[in-house]
Amino acid sequence: MSQDLVRASADLANRPDGGMMVITTFEAPPGMRIKEVKGLVRGNTIRARNLGFDIMAGLKSLVGGELSEYTKLMGESREQALDRMRAEAVARGANAVIGLQITTSMIMQGSAEILCYGTAVVLEPDS
Amino acid sequence: MTEERLEMLMVKVTDDAATAAEREELMAYIADKPELQQELSMHEGLKAVTDGWVARLEVDLAQDRYNQQSLTIWWTNLGLTLFLGGLAVLMGGGMVELMADPSVPMWLKVGYGGMGAGFVVLMAAVIRWRMNTAKHDKYTEVQR
């Protein structure tokens, strides 16, 4: 992440609204309209757990059930990718990301890659 | 009946929070309105589905309780320590045996020695990297 995005992320967290940003899979949320399009924003990450958790998950796969070690891994990756996307949107002066998509792919065994992307826009109330 | 009252009764009946009188009032009102009956039925169907989700999430609570038990933590840590300790002894011991064996050619000793030392140095580098970045990694707090 570039220094600009780190700064944008910090600015986002320190805003009076607590960093609230509309992120939606809709084109535009009900009651709002797109004032300005800021372009494509995306965030991605690849994370892994440690060897101990991989061993535990491997053993658990023998008996079945949820592999909570990897559930946590996916959750961490999802949140980090979303934060990076959000920071990029803030850096572009957007207040919302619409048409959100989240995808995953396999880079390395035992790791989770999450890519999320959407269109950064400035929304305003639909009068 | 006003629209606000109808909405309130629909919500209360759907949530099974209505009194007998309120339920009766709503049923009497929608008795000859098939579109409202259909809407109520749709809400009740949706609630049945979402209630099912909540019930299924009990497995998460059970998982959290299990993970927080000190026996679970102790047991897992003991197993991992034994496993990883054994692995380290096997790898380290094997390397020492290899180096001490006079029948092993020098090029093999140099090659394996370099590989082993490189592994230790790289391992130290990634542990140092992790210790430096872990304190800023807030994502480890995410559970699911």
| C-alpha span between B44 and A56 (Å, rounded) | 42
- State the Cα–Cα distance between residues B5 and B18, nearest whole angstrom: 12
Domain that holds residue B21: 3-56
Q: In this structure, are B9 and B43 located in the same domain?
A: yes
Q: How far off is chain B from A57, nearest CA to CA, in Å?
A: 12
Question: Confidence class of residue A19 from pLDDT cuts 50, 70 and 90?
Answer: low
CB A8 within 8 A of CB A21: no
- pLDDT for the residue A7: 59
- Report pLDDT for A1: 46
Q: What is the pTM of this model?
A: 0.71
Domain presence at residue B77: yes
pLDDT surpassing 90 at residue A92? yes
Dist. CA A59–CA A86, nearest whole Å? 37
Number of structural domains, chain A?
Answer: 1
**Residue B135 pLDDT:** 86
Please report the pLDDT score of residue A52 as a whole number: 87
In CATH, what number is assigned to the domain containing residue A117?
3.30.110.70
Q: Are residues B136 and B75 in the same domain?
A: yes
CA B10 to chain centroid, in Å, comes to 36
Q: Provide the shortest C-alpha distance from residue B109 to chain A (in Å).
A: 28
Question: Residue B60: is its pLDDT beyond 60?
Answer: yes
A52-80: b or e for each residue (b if 16 or more CB lie within 10 Å)?
bbbbbbeeeeeeeeebbbbbbbbbbbbbb
Residue A123: pLDDT over 60 = yes
Q: Provide the domain limits for residue A84.
A: 3-125
Give the DSSP H or E segment for A39.
strand A32-48
Contact B144 A79 (CB under 8 A): no
- Give the number of other CB atoms < 10 A from CB of residue A115: 18
Please count the structural domains in chain B: 2
Asked, for residue B64, whether it belongs to a domain, the answer is no
Task: Considering only residues A31 and B112, tell me which one the structure prediction assigns the higher pLDDT.
Answer: B112
Greatest CA span in chain A, whole angstroms? Answer: 58
Residue A2: pLDDT above 70? no
- Residue B109 falls inside a structural domain: yes
Residue with structure tokens 């890519």?
A115
Largest CA distance in chain B: 99
Cβ-defined contact of B76 to A56 (cutoff 8 Å): yes
| Token reading at B124 | 């130290």
